Structures are given as structure tokens and as C-alpha cells.
Chain A
Amino acid sequence: MEKTVTLKIDKHTVTVPEGTIVLDAAKKVGVDIPTLCYINMEGTAVKSNPTSCRICVVEIEGRKNLAPACATACTEGMIVRTSTTRVLNARRIVAELILSDHPNECLVCPKSGKCELQKLAQRFNIREMPFAGGELSQRTKEVTAAIVRNMDKCILCRRCENVCNNVQTVGALGAIKRGFNTMIAPAFERNLADSECTYCGQCVAVCPTGALSEHDYTNRLLDDLADSDKIVIVQTAPSVRAALGEEFGLPAGTLVTGKMVAALKELGFAKVFDTDFSADLTIMEEGAEIIDRLTHFLNKDKLVRLPILTSCCPAWVNFFEKQFPDMLDIPSTARSPQQMFGSIAKTCWAEMMGIPKEKLICVSIMPCLAKKYECSREEFKKDGVPDVDYSLSTRELAELIKKANINFNSLPDEDFDQPLGESTGAGVIFGATGGVLEAALRTVYEVYTKKKLANINFTEVRGLDGIKKATIDLNGFPLHVGIANGLGNARRLLEEIRTGKSEYHVIEIMACPGGCIGGGGQPQHHGNVEILKARTAALYKEDANKKLRKSHENPYIVKLYEEYLGKPLSEQAHKLLHTHYFNRAENE
């Protein structure tokens, strides 16, 4: 039986399992201790309690100093006081100190209204800044294709450092210099663009202030929309519809597909398409590749290496290009759905519609910041023009809708335009960890075994676990599949492959905890893991409600192959839908 301890928190007596931190014990009895640096998304690897902000300090009887509730374990008979004058005074002064080194730019800050520091200042009722007027620490500003760093707004909570190093194991961000000059930056104060950064955006996702934000393309989009010479089309990623509503006060997990399409149309896009369509297309190519490699493998072809890894996630691509350059031949060569969409839209669709290429602007709405960078990769440009011109995050779309005075919640549901708006349930679940693999399995199983699936729900690959595995019976062949979300988990699977210990035939990897629904471009989750769960559930609900749930049954995909691409892995498909990878490791 689990050992418990009983303690007193203010006037409450509470019994909790041994090892519980005071913060959680207090929560149990309704005492809400403020926190700032602390983040803990149970069920994922995201956990950071460096005990550095000192906002959550409490008085513990018998201890000389105040103790951080976020890291102090409850002990038997402990007496905790959370709101004595000493505690309240200390917290207020600590908050005032943080504010004294923070630019007062709330009015023009992208995080205004969602900033945890702002919220804290309000909670503490801070109306004066007794320590303001002193030196402000000088900190870097940097604009990359995906992430913007305004480090003067950094409060050194170290959450980004934690996710970058411990969760993602990327190691791009860390504390450098010391004392008042401490800042979070890549080693040797290099630019993020020159570092190991994969642009996964998890640092942005956890940043409590405006220090880390996305590169904002909303103004560029407004310019393009206003330009009568341009035809602006948009694609929206699966995860956007499951999270966008949060920005308009709707509960997490509210599906707003129809409203989102309506809003995009109102914004003036010529066509509103769906990345789910190209997700289906991705399955066709990736699925064919899986079957092809598997067949060779089963025929004892020594030139073919398994496992095959998915390649939809651009942060993941950056990760293996920078950190596992010896394994560039393992991932699938299929482009990501975003890039497949751009490629098809600017070739096949533009030709079909008779739109000159130079007039066509292809925009994507993504839950992701790495997608912004992916658009700018040279291999995804033709004559210097990107297939996808630029990408906006879910958050930017929400801001844009607000800016355009669109009453989002009262919008009627509208449908995507065709043909690039047609999709199956398989395309929808791409947004959740395990979703790509499940979508692939639905197609691979039926194509390979030439049998219909009795149950198309592969529930064993669903859920937030960092690493999941399952075995699928393919005509008697046990296909071992593995799924990792979070780059730290991906690293574990890659190390296994490197050392020849991998048991898997197919592996899906998504850089962000929970998959794209937890992407760096999504509305802030502020460490609440329930939000990720609700978004995931929404995607599976949309999948379940779809009439077609297997990519190869998407009629427009079928048509696209018949009329334009031939068959999966054809020469034309290779040209438009596949890519290659580069060794971008620093010392090799």
C-alpha cells in the first residue's frame, strides 16, 4: 500500500502520498499557491521546477527560511502556512523584483492577456514598482524564420531551457553568463539560427512571458489579401481545428472546423483547403514506401534498412539532420503534408485552374513553428519561390480573426473548398501522437493484405505516453511499430537503431509532446495537460464522425493519382512529393 503522510496547510488537514509536494497537497484542499517557474504536465515529460522564481514560497514550521512549495516534499506532521504576512510580503517583493527588470511593454506585447507574469502582477495587486528605475539587463533579440526571441522579457524561469535540454534533448538553449547578466541563449551567445535548434517551438509553448514567440506573418498575409493581383489560398492543419476555439473562450477540445473555414473565407482567402487532404496523400506515398521497404526486407534485400521512420514533422527532420546525420537514409522520403499540399497546389491545381504561378500565394495555418522554417527550406522552392509561401500559427490565426472584427463564435459552419479540401478521418488524426502511424496502418494493412480491416481503430497506438509500441498482424507477419512523441523520446528510439537494438519495423515520430496538438504554435496550454488530452479527443471524434476514414478511399486522392501522378512512388510523385535530407551536424 502507498505510504501516506498527514500535514496541516493553513487550517486544513490533508493526507497525501509520501513524496507529494506542498503545492499539490495545498491544491487538494483548495489552497491555490501562486507559481511562475514551475511547470508539470503529468503524463508527459514536461516538468520543470528549478525553484528559481521563489514566487511559491511558504512558511514551514521549524524551518528558518521560507520554502518553495513546488519542490518541498510533504512530511508527516508538517505545518505549512501559505498566507502569513511574511509569506505574502516576500512573494510580493519577489514579484516586484521580477517586474523591476521587465520592460513595461504590455500594451504592445504579443503575450499580453496571456502572460503569466502579467497575471501574477494582477493577482498580487501590484500598483507601484518600488524597485523600478534601475538597470535593465541587456538581452538579445533575434528573429528567425520561426521563432522570435525578445530576451529582455525573459524572467529566467528556465522552462525553455528545461524542455529544450531535458524533454527534447536538443540542447540549443541554456543559461549563460551569471548574476544579473544571466541570460538564456545558445552556447557562446550564438544565434538560435546557428544552433542545434530544431524550431520545435516547445520553448515558445512553455514561455510564460513574451520572451519567446513565433515569427508573426499576419501583417504580410493582410498585405497579400489586400493585393488584388494575388490569389491567396490557405491550408489548415488537422490540429488547428481542435485548439483554435480556446482563443475564443471555448472549452479545450471544442471542434471548430466549420467556424474556422467560415472565418478564413471571411478574411478573404480565395480558397480554403485542408492539409488533411495532403495528409491522405502523405499516407499514400509513405504507405507505399513502407510496403516497398518491407517487401524488400522480407525478401532479404540487404540494401534496405528497417525501421522506416515517418517524416511529417519538420522539427524532427531538423533533429535527425543535426544530431543523427549517420541515419539520413532511414526516414521516409515523403514530404510533410504541408509541403505536399504546396507542391500540388502550385503545380497540378494551379494548372487546372489556370492560375499563373506568380499570382498564387499559398499560406498554411499550422499548430507548429517549425513549419514556418520548413516553408523556407531551399529544396521546397521552385525558382526561388516557396511552394508554401509562409505559415501562420494557430495563435496568429486567432489574432487575425480578432483583428478583422470577426465574431468567431457566432459564425455558421462552412465547408472546405474542393478538391483540396476533401479528406478522410485518417488525415485528421495526423495531429495526435500515433495518428500518422494509425493512418498509415489503415492503408498499409488493406493494400498489403488485400483484406478489409475489421476494426480500423488502432487504439493501442493512441495516448500521450512518450513511447508506445504495438504489433500488427500483416498476413501472419508481426509488424512491430513504435511511436515517440517529444524529441527526447525520439532520441531513445534512434539510439536503439544506431546500436542495432531496435525491434521496430516502422516508427512514427513527432517532436512535440502529445504530437501536433501540443505544437509550439498552439494556444498556450500553461502547463495544463488536460488541454492536450481534450484536443486529442477532439481529433479522434472528428475521425469517428467522418464517412471515409482511410486515406486510399479519398476520392480526390484517387483522382489525383489517376489524372496526374500515376501511382504512389511514380516518377512524378517522387518529383513533387518526396524530398532528401542533409547532414547539418556541426562538427562533421
Chain B
Amino acid sequence: MSKITSPEDLLKIKNDYAERMKLREEAQDVTPAKVSGLNTGTKKIQILCCSSVCCLSSKSGEIADKFCQLAKEQNVTDRVDVIRTGCFGFCEKGPNVKIVPDNTFYTEVKLDDVDEIFKTHILGGKRVDRLLFEDPKTHKRIPDSKDMNFYRKQMRIALRNCCFIDPEDIKEYIARDGYMSLANCIKKMTPKEVIEVVKKSGLRGRGGAGFPTGMKWEFASKSVSDVKYVVCNADEGDPGAFMDRSIMEGDPNSIIEAMAICGYAIGAENGLVYIRAEYPLAVKRLKIAREQARKLGLLGKNIFGSNFNFDIDIRYGAGAFVCGEETALIHSMEGKRGEPTLKPPFPAVKGYLGKPTNVNNVETLANIPPIFLNGPDWFNKIGTEKSKGTKVFALAGKINNQGLVEVPMGTTLREVIYDIGEGIKGGKKFKSVQTGGPSGGCLTEKDLDTPIDYDNLMAAGSIMGSGGMIVMDEDDCMVAIAKFYLEFIVGESCGKCTPCRVGNKRMLEILNRIVDGKGNMDDLKKMRTLANVIKDCALCGLGQTSPNPVLSTLDNFYDEYVAHVKDKTCPAKHCQNLLTYTINPEKCQGCTACAKTCPGNAIVGTPRKPHTILPDKCIKCGMCMSRCKFGAISVC
């Protein structure tokens, strides 16, 4: 590959790839009336196989291999392209496979289905209906992802390339106008102008706190130093969140380009990606992208023939949640213990190795190239007054459509849960939605019409966070949920400051007492006091937000706490130690099935006569209840 020195060179690559990309781009916009098939007149077909970690773990790699093998066997490799893309987002029903140009979206594809897809669809021009997504409400099969509720309300900016291009081919990225933003910045703009664009766009940090990105860049640019650093924070740590991983796996070049733009803006020649070592595929793709970018001269010396030099180094994190906090992250990169330090000094003044450092999260960076391609005004028009653009959420929990979704700011929680997520699993009742990960809070029905943005979520008692969104239904005990998050925090606290290290531990002990039926009303008071002090006094963002799950559940589900403490019951019937299993003698037939299955030998009685449960021996496993054919056993 020869080096790229001008925007024209980029356009040349784009031209070379035009036909290839056109096929996909057109399919994205309009669904052709005809199902494509080689034997029915379609000239070229592309098979897009999701190759993110989730789908790969369900054998999407082998599925793609099989498609390649079949194409070879049928001697149609010149007409069939198998493209291994990043995440489609519809992880609930992976592996996902998309056929272009007809835009057919297959879900839960198994290795055994490949033959049929190839024969019937790729060759025969007929869809394999059973692999199409079935609408949970209408039970209709939906062939095109555009028509699925899951995708309809989404708007993909950060994820724009994720299920579209081959992340291991930089030219596909370039064909999507990749590196054009960098070229324009370097060739046509001063660093100050670059920062102005970011400021004007209204982009705020997607890592959690929502600090205006342009301002952050400006601070770093104003620091005078011989060496500065651009750091990409890829230390995604919220339980269940995988937004950043998907972006790194699906579109690594967008991160590299954005980092280079930032480097140009703040005057840094060194980029560092801090990524957790348990993201091996993301690391691999990032390395491939970096290698290809270096070969094309998009990283290295004199980028686009200018005197701007920039390159990227990768640093691995050991998976500590606190290392997502920027000062802790910087210490970890320095080879020190991953612990936060007091700000100020901010990294923009004194960061990595004591030099001015700008730290941005992966998703934040992924928004940068489109902002320059489409202009800050375009971005600024999306979203709410104070939160611009879109936000990616990892939708999980008791929801029909789990997966990765990107919606414009201002979309309501209800839209995300009921339209995109298509409601609660099994028709159960919605109870709460948790946003912001361990630092966030649990919101309720009353908050569902809140337009999602940084300030609204904060006002409602939660935070935007990095984008975890977990939906809970009536079976979820909110005390246990609070306990779950607190356990996470206690495990992930760095142990530096007293409130977080000891305070959260003590709070967890109180919660454990409560779910064991040993709590008292004073405990609730104590917990709130403790939570407020931790919030007020902890050293870093992790500590300061760590009591949020407890505080928000105390605020929104106080009755549930009281039930645990006063009545010693768990309304959601979740907390084992608070459950009482009883046999209704009128219904019991004395079949002995329950007694036989009871692992604690807690059920006694003579055959054909009603049995009883000995409360002292009952370990509350619930096996008797699931075994009873007569519905004689109940729990309360």
C-alpha cells in the first residue's frame, strides 16, 4: 500500500470500493422488491456475518467460514462476498446474518442453517422464513431489519459502521469517508478551529459524567508542554455494558482517526489506548487497524504531508472498574496502582507521566469523525437542549429485545423499553430500570416518560453513566438489586479512601442483614446517613456515586425495604431467607413427591395424607413447590 498524503488519495480508495459499498448503502435505504439470488438474476451478493465477540461465541466465525466454503464449492466467489462485520446490536438473537442487496436479516443462525440459506436464498432467491425475526406481538416474520421495532427508533452515529464494514479492512472504513475528517482538520483547519467545531457540536463525554468534550480539549490545548498525550479510555467496566467493546471491535479506525484529530487539536503526538486485557478481539482489531493506518501513513510522521506526527500505543488494564476513572487510569498506565488522586490537578494540566493529557471515552471519540464530516450544526440539532447527539445503551434484563441500541438524546425511557425493547419478557409487569451502572440509580414507572439526557437522568436520581440499561420486572427484589450493585462496588473499590472502602462495606453488611430478615428500622436510617456521607466525602467519582443504587431504591422502593425489615417478607419473593413455604392440607394429596425431592428432609407426613414442612429444616430452595402437581405448596 502506498502512503496517503492527500484527501484525493482517500477519494481514490473510496472510488475503488464504491461498487462494493454501494450495494450495502442502497440496501440500508431502500429494500428492493426482489429477493436476491444468484440463480434468479442478482449479480452480486454480500453476506454480512456479525463477528463481534457475542456472535463469535455462538459460532458466527464458523458460519462465515462455511459461507466462504460453499461459495468456493459453487464456484461463485467472484459473485459472493462474505463480510465479517462488527456488532449488529441485536445480540438477544445472535448470530445475526444479513444478506445484501435485499437486506434480509436472519437471526439465531446456526451452523446447520448455512447450507439452507446458501441454497435457498443465495442461489435460489428465496428467503428462509423460519430464520427471520418474529415480531413478539404480531407474530409476523420480518425480513428486513429496517422494519423491526428494534431498529426503527434507533439512530446510529457512534455505531454507524459497526454492522456495516469489515473492521479489519481500513479501506472499507475509508470508503465510508473515514480519515476524511482528519484530512480536513489537518489541511484546512487550525487546531483552535478544530476545538471550536467540537465545542459547537455540543458533544459531551460519554464515559459517564458528561463533561463537554470541546472544553476538555481546550484545557489540554492551553497547557504548555513539550509532550502531551491523548488517551482513549476503553476500560469499560459497568456490569453488562459492552458499548465500547462493540465500537472497538466493529469500527476501530474511527477511534484512531478521532484520537489523531484530538492530537492535532491539543498538540499531542502520542496516543494511548487503555483497554482491558479481557477484550482480546478489540485489541486484535485495534492492532490491525493501527498497522494498516501506519502503512497508509495515516499514523506516523508527517500525516497528510503536514508536519503533524501522531501514533498510538496500547496499554492493557487488568479489569479494575476504578481504572475507568481518569486519574486512576493514568496511574495504571504509569505502572502504578490503579488509584484515583484528587483533582485538581486535572489531567489536562498534569496527567500521564506528569504531562498534559486528554482522556476521552471510546464512544465519545466515535462521534468525532461524523461531527467533522457533517458539521457541528448537524450534530447540534440532534438531541435535547443540553445533551446533543445520540447515546448507545446496552439494553439488558427482563426485556424482550436485549442488545446494543443507539438512540438520539431525548428519546424517552418508555420508547427504549417498550418500542425498541418491545416490552417486558413474558408479559410481566415493569418495575424499574437501572441506568448508569453501579454508579446509577433505579428509576420507576413515573420516570418512564423522561427524555433521556444527562441532566434529566441526574434529576431523576440516576445518571447517564456509560450506557448500561437494565430492566427489572415484578419478580425482582429491589433490596436485592441494591445489594447486587453494592457487592460490585465493594469488590471494585480501590480501597484508598475511608468512605468508599469501609463505608460501602458497612452498608453492604446492613443490606445483608436486611435480606436475611435481621434488619431493623434503625438500619434504614443508618444506611441513608452512611450513603449521604459516602456521596459527600469519597475521593473519586466511583466512590461519590457508589451509594446511588441504595439511595435510589430507598427513595423509590422504601415500602419494599420496610417489608423486609418490619414484616420480614420479600414482596418479590426473591430473598430466600424471608420466604416461608407452606403446604395447603386441603390441596395436598400425600403423593410424597415433595418429601422425596426435599434436599433438607424438611417435609414430613404419611403417604396419602397431607404433608407438612418443618420450618427449622427448610432451606427455602423451592424444589418442593416446583415438584408439586397439585398446587398445594405456596410461598409467602
Contacts and interface: CB of A to CB of B under 8 A. Distances in A.
A135 B491 CA distance: 14
Contacts of B492: 178-179
B498 A178 contact: no
Interface stretch (A46-54, A250-258, A353-361, A430-438): A46-54
Contacts of B491: 179
Given A100-B502, A130-B526, A180-B505, A54 B495 contact: no
Contacts of A73: 344
Interface residues of chain A: helix, strand, loop or mixed (majority)? loop
A52 B497 contact: yes
For chain B, the bracket of interface size reads 20 to 34
A57 B490 contact: no
A573 interface: no
B495 A182 contact: yes
Interface string B511-530: 00000000000000010011
Contacts of B535: 65
Contacts of B497: 51-54
B537 A179 contact: no
Interface string B492-507: 1111111101110110
Max chain A Cβ within 10 angstroms of own Cβ: one of B341, B497, B502, B509? B502
Contacts of A94: 498-499, 503, 533, 537
A51 B342 contact: yes
B502 A54 contact: no
B502 A97 contact: yes
Contact of A52 (B344, B490, B498, B530): B498
A65 B544 contact: yes
B539 interface: yes
A366 B397 CA distance: 65
A54 B543 CA distance: 12
B516 to A, nearest CB: 14
A111 B273 CA distance: 47
Contacts of B539: 51-52, 54
Contact of A97 (B495, B499, B544): B499
A73 B344 CA distance: 9
Contacts of B313: none
B320 interface: yes
B495 A178 contact: yes
B618 to A, nearest CB: 28
Nearest to B500: A179
A51 B342 CA distance: 7
A466 interface: no
A68 B537 CA distance: 8
A97 B503 contact: yes
B337 A54 contact: no
B536 interface: yes
Contacts of B339: 175
Nearest to B540: A51
B495 A65 contact: no
A175 to B, nearest CB: 6
A518 B577 CA distance: 57
A71 B345 CA distance: 10
B496 A100 contact: no
A78 to B, nearest CB: 13
Report which residue of A57, A94, A100, A174 has the largest number of chain B beta carbons within 10 angstroms of its beta carbon.
Answer: A94
Q: Which of A51, A55, A72, A86 has the most CB of B within 10 A?
A: A51
A473 to B, nearest CB: 42
B538 interface: yes
A384 interface: no
Interface string A491-517: 000000000000000000000000000
A54 B501 contact: no
Nearest to A130: B526
A73 B499 CA distance: 22
Nearest to B491: A179
Nearest to A134: B509
Interface size class of A (residues with CB under 8 A): 35 or more
Interface string A215-252: 00000000000000000000000000000000000000
A183 to B, nearest CB: 8
Given A100-B506, A130-B526, A131-B506, A179 B538 contact: no
A66 B536 contact: yes
B59 to A, nearest CB: 36
A53 B538 CA distance: 9
Nearest to B490: A179
Interface in A86-130: 86, 89-90, 93-94, 97-98, 100-101, 130
A54 B493 contact: no
A178 B535 CA distance: 20
Contacts of A86: 536
A259 to B, nearest CB: 42
A499 B488 CA distance: 49
Nearest to B344: A73
B536 A179 contact: no
Contacts of B337: 174-175
A181 interface: yes
A402 B269 CA distance: 65
A177 B342 CA distance: 21
B523 to A, nearest CB: 10
A65 B342 CA distance: 13
A156 interface: yes
Contacts of A97: 498-499, 502-503, 506
Given A65-B536, A94-B537, A179-B501, A135 B494 contact: no
Contacts of A65: 535-538, 544
A54 B506 contact: no
A180 B509 contact: no
Contact of A177 (B344, B495, B509, B530): B495
B208 to A, nearest CB: 15
19 contacts: A54-B499, A54-B539, A65-B535, A86-B536, A94-B499, A97-B503, A98-B498, A101-B505, A131-B530, A156-B496, A175-B339, A177-B495, A178-B320, A178-B492, A178-B493, A178-B494, A178-B495, A179-B501, A182-B494
Interface of B: 320, 322, 337, 339, 341-342, 344, 490-499, 501-503, 505-506, 509, 526, 529-530, 533, 535-539, 544
Given A50-B341, A65-B538, A179-B493, 8 more contacts: A54-B497, A66-B537, A72-B342, A97-B502, A174-B337, A175-B496, A179-B491, A179-B494
